[in-house]
Amino acid sequence: MTTVVVAGGGIGGLATALSVSAHGHRVVVCERGEEFAELGAGIQLAPNGMHALDRLGLAGTVGRIAVPVEELRFMDGVTGDHVVSMPLGEEYRRRFRNAYVVVHRGELYRTLLRACQDSDLIELRASCPVVGYEHGGDEDAPGVRVLLGQGRVLTADALVGADGLHSAVRAKVVGDGAPRNAGITVYRSIVPMERVPEDLRHRSVSWWTGPGRHFVHYPIAGGRYLNLAPSVENRPSETFSGLPVPAADVRAQFAVLCDTARRLLALGTDWKAWVLVDREPVREWTDGRVALLGDAAHPMLHYAAQGACMALEDAVVIGELLNCPPRQFGARLRQYNASRRERTARVHRLARDSIRLWHARDADARARNETLAAMSATDLYDYVAWLHGARDFAPPSGSAEGTYTLAGYLGPADSGGAADDPAAPHTLGGSLELPEQQR
C-alpha cells in the first residue's frame, strides 16, 4: 500500500492525513511532541475554512461546537466610536454558502484528532520528530527516506512537511533560516463569560484600533469564554512564545484606549505573550516527492485570521491531487505548489497590510474611519469575496483579479520584500479592497 508521511501533528498535519487517506493511501503522522495536543485559544473560521472542513467531512461536527458570529465590528479604540460592521447573518451566509464562526483551537484540534484515530489508514506517532529527508533515487523512483530522531528512518512514497514555523523539512526544501520578527507582541487571555458584564457581551468579533496597537475579542467554546487578544508594536529584540506576563503590564500597554476597551482588558488574567513572526513568500515549496503545507510553506501574521483556513485549504488540495499512483506524486505536488502559490501570497500580503489599517494614528486614522464608514454591507461583502467566497482552493495560476488596497489611503506600503518576489503577484490585496469607482 502507498504510504505518505506527514511531519507535524497540528491542525494542518491532521487535516492532511484525513484528506490523503480519503483517497486510499496509508498515512503516518509524525509528531515531535510527547502527545498529540494543540496549544492556543480561539480561531476564526471564515466560510472558506468551513467549506474546507466540509470537504473533509467535519463541517457539521465543528459547526456544533463553534460560535456563529453575528458581525465583524470595527471600533475606533481611542474615541470609542463604532466605525463600521460587516453583518454575518442570512445575507452573508447565502452569498458565501457558509457561516463565519469562532471556535476554541483545542476543540477544533480534538475534532480532527478523533477523526484520524477513527481511521484504519492513519497511524499517529508521538515523540517522533522528523529531522530531515533523503530522496530514494530520482524523482520518479519510489521512496523518500524520512529521517527521524535517534537515527530512525521511515521509507515513504511521499513526505508532507506540516511541521510549522520552525519546520525541519522546510530547512532542506527552502533553507531560508529563522522566521522574521515582525516587531509585534500579542497577549492572550481567556475569561469565563460569567465574569463578563452583560453590556460587554457580543456575538461578534470586535476590533478596537489604536496608534501602533489594537485589541480583538470574541466568544469561544460555545460562548462559555471570551477570548482576548491585544497586540502592540513594541519591537521586541528576541522572539518568544507563551511567556507569562503580569496583567498590569498588559493594561499599561493599552492605556491609550477608551474606557470600554480598558474594561474588557481588565477582565484578563493569566496573560501570556507571543512575538509575531512570518516569512517572505517563496515560489517553490516542493522538492520531488516532498512538499510543505500550512505554516511550513507560507507562514503569515494572524491579522488576516486565515492561518488555519489556509492550512485546511492546503490539505484539501493536496489530498485531492494525490488521488493517483505514486509514480505521479512528484508532478502532482508541483501542481499543488503552483495552484496554491498566488492565493497564499495574497493572504500573506493582506495580513501585513492590516497592520497599517489597525494601527493607524491621527489623520491617517480619521481618513481610515471615513473610508470604512462610507461602506455598505454589500460593499464589504464584495471586498472579501475573493477570500471568504472561495470554493475552488486551487485556481489557475494568474487568475486573481487586480485589486486596490484600502491601505492605499495611507500612501505606499512597505511590502516587506514580498512585492519583489516573483512568487508574489502584483494583485496581492490589502486589508480591504476598494471598487473602481472609489479609486
Residues annotated as catalytic (active site), given as ranges: 218
Q: What 3-state DSSP class applies to 232?
A: strand
Grid coordinates representing 370?
471615513
Task: Annotate 161-177 with b (16+ C-beta within 10 A) or e (fewer).
Answer: bbbbbebbbbbbbbeee
162 φ/ψ angles, rounded to the nearest 5 degrees = -115, 40
Q: What 3-state DSSP class applies to 91?
A: helix
Rounded CA separation 331/333 (Å): 5
* CA-wise closest residue to 263 among 200, 208, 202, 214: 200
E-strand stretches of 193-287: 204-210, 213-220, 225-232, 241-244, 272-278, 286-287
The amino acid present at 301, given as its one-letter code, is L
Q: How many residues does the chain have?
A: 439
Rounded CA separation 11/116 (Å): 11
Any idea of the CA torsion for 244, 250, 253, 259, to the nearest 10 degrees?
A: 170
Helix (H) or strand (E) holding 292: strand 290-292
* CA-wise closest residue to 298 among 329, 243, 355, 336: 336
Grid coordinates representing 114?
478523533
Rounded CA separation 273/242 (Å): 5
Half-sphere exposure of 4 (CA within 13 A, CB side): 35
Helix (H) or strand (E) holding 341: helix 329-358
Any idea of the CA torsion for 263, 264, 266, 267, to the nearest 10 degrees?
A: 130
226 φ/ψ angles, rounded to the nearest 5 degrees = -110, 125
